[in-house]
Amino acid sequence: MNLTAPDIETARLLLRQITNADAAALFQIFGDEEAMRYWLTRDLTIAQTHERIERMIQQWQAHGFGDWAVVDKKSRKMIGYCGLHFIKDMAEVNLGYLFASDSWGKGYATETGKLAVRFGFEQAGLRQIVGVTRPANQASIKVLEKCGLSFWKEIIWSGEPRVVYLAGEKP
């Protein structure tokens, strides 16, 4: 089992272990109103950002999968994160991603999402991966579909309607 995120490179991007050194960049993304439009958690403090990073690191240590920091190779700037994380209250492994809004429209979520799904099935031995989003988040739904997930069901999560997309075996 991997206890840290392995580096993965594409022509444009580097996916690497997220660290506390990424807190300032991630804090800036968490403060990006457009990027956070569909998120329940908003207005995170820098201390909460460090806590979130610690949970991301612990995800790798506990499960052998987790989130990667996504770095634009040309600018060397962290533009977001993408990966797999276990959602306890759903007992599912979720494909998640968050990118600064000035990085949208370039295919980064799809590019990294496909890598995360492949890693989940081929390296982490997962049998299914879900993607959970709000029905109004059509851009995220398109990313999930391009990553090989198909509509599975509608749920109420954290008191709000969500759609769940699935890749792999249905439970």
- Which residues lie across from 80 on neighbouring strands? 70, 99
Indicate the pTM of the whole model. Answer: 0.92
Inform me whether the pLDDT recorded for 82 exceeds 70. Answer: yes
Please state, in angstroms and rounded to a whole number, the distance separating the CA atoms of residues 58 and 54: 6
Positive or negative CA dihedral for 85, 48, 53, 145? positive
Q: What is the pLDDT of residues 98-133, one digit of tens each?
A: 999 999 999 999 999 999 999 999 999 999 999 999
Structural domains in the chain, CATH included, are: 8-168 (3.40.630.30)
Q: What is the dihedral of CA 120, 94, 34, 52, to 10 degrees?
A: -90
H or E segment to which residue 85 belongs: strand 77-87
Please state, in angstroms and rounded to a whole number, the distance separating the CA atoms of residues 4 and 16: 9
